[in-house]
Amino acid sequence: MIDSGNYYKQVERYAEQIRKTSSADEIIRILDIVLSMTKGLKLSDEIFTAQEQVKCAEQKIKSLKNELEQLRELVQIDQMTGAFNRRGLDDIFKREAARADRNAQSLGVVLIDLDNFKQINDTLGHSYGDNILINLVTIAKKTLRPSDTVARFGGEEFVILLPDVELEDALTIVHRLQNNLIKNSLLQIDERSISITFSAGVALRSFGEHQHSVINRADRALYQAKRTGKNRIIPALI
């Protein structure tokens, strides 16, 4: 319990901290503190009649916090496909890597690249290419486990994080995604029916391994998949 005098002094101090930061996470943390203080405010006789104003302030703080949480989600999402973007991937990787190290679990990292995507864009137009990217993410979300994450890495490249999975299981999951994509995406180019396919490199993160390192290993495996015929899934070397 705090009295009103100390309450307003502390609120002003936290307001100054909010003005100095651009981090949504930090602002949300500060709002949580202010909300806790507001709930614990000791109502003296002087401010007893302002009880409704205190409740109103509490609701405004909650509303602002919710808006900031929604904004934080938006800046981590690729707006076209609905997959996470690079910033979202970075945050999720840190969290999943820390959990994997803490629980002595594996973390599968998959780098996929749509095959012949430039030809599709050049032949059918970028709008059609955009729809293919959106379709891939839609199928991935239906195919992957609830704990898995799909993120757009750039262009037609995507990263998939598979927590607590062994290499054989990771390969099985990616093969399932590959088959589902082929079954659910068929297009016509030069009077030929062509299925949309992707090539992929699959790496298992080692204990303490940095994001850049494990993605590089998956990328080398992806390059091998492309070089040896495309529409392939290659496990990465340790």
- Condensed to tens digits (0 to 9), the pLDDT of residues 161-197 reads 999 999 999 999 999 999 999 888 766 555 666 789 9
Question: 200: exposed, middle or buried (C-beta count within 10 Å: 0-12, 13-18, 19+)?
Answer: buried
Q: In the predicted model, is pLDDT for residue 24 greater than 80?
A: no
Instruction: Give pLDDT, residue 192.
Output: 60
Summarize the confidence of residues 13-42 as an average pLDDT.
Answer: 72
Q: In the predicted model, is pLDDT for residue 71 greater than 60?
A: no
Give residue-wise pLDDT tens across range 169-178: 999 999 999 9
Instruction: Give pLDDT, residue 237.
Output: 86
Find the catalytic residue in 26, 67, 69, 156. Answer: 156
Check: CB of residue 236 under 8 Å from CB of residue 219: no
Q: What percent of the chain has pLDDT over 90?
A: 53
Instruction: Please indicate whether residue 130 or residue 25 has the higher confidence score (pLDDT).
Output: 130
Summarize the confidence of residues 87-115 as an average pLDDT.
Answer: 95
Q: In the predicted model, is pLDDT for residue 45 greater than 50?
A: no
Q: In the predicted model, is pLDDT for residue 118 greater than 70?
A: yes
Q: What is the DSSP string of the chain?
A: -B-HHHHHHHHHHHHHHHHH---HHHHHHHHHHHHHHHHTB---TTTGGGHHHHHHHHHHHHHHHHHHHHHHHHTTB-TTT-SB-HHHHHHHHHHHHHHHHHHT--EEEEEEEETTHHHHHHHH-HHHHHHHHHHHHHHHHHHS-TT-EEEEEETTEEEEEEES--HHHHHHHHHHHHHHHHHT-EEEETTEEEE--EEEEEEEPPTT--HHHHHHHHHHHHHHHHHTTSS-EEEPP-
Q: In the predicted model, is pLDDT for residue 30 greater than 90?
A: no
Q: In the predicted model, is pLDDT for residue 44 greater than 80?
A: no
Residue 156 annotated in active site: yes
Q: In the predicted model, is pLDDT for residue 11 greater than 90?
A: no
Q: What percent of the chain has pLDDT over 70?
A: 76
Question: 97: exposed, middle or buried (C-beta count within 10 Å: 0-12, 13-18, 19+)?
Answer: buried
Check: CB of residue 199 under 8 Å from CB of residue 113: yes
Instruction: Give pLDDT, residue 13.
Output: 78
pTM of the full predicted structure?
A: 0.71
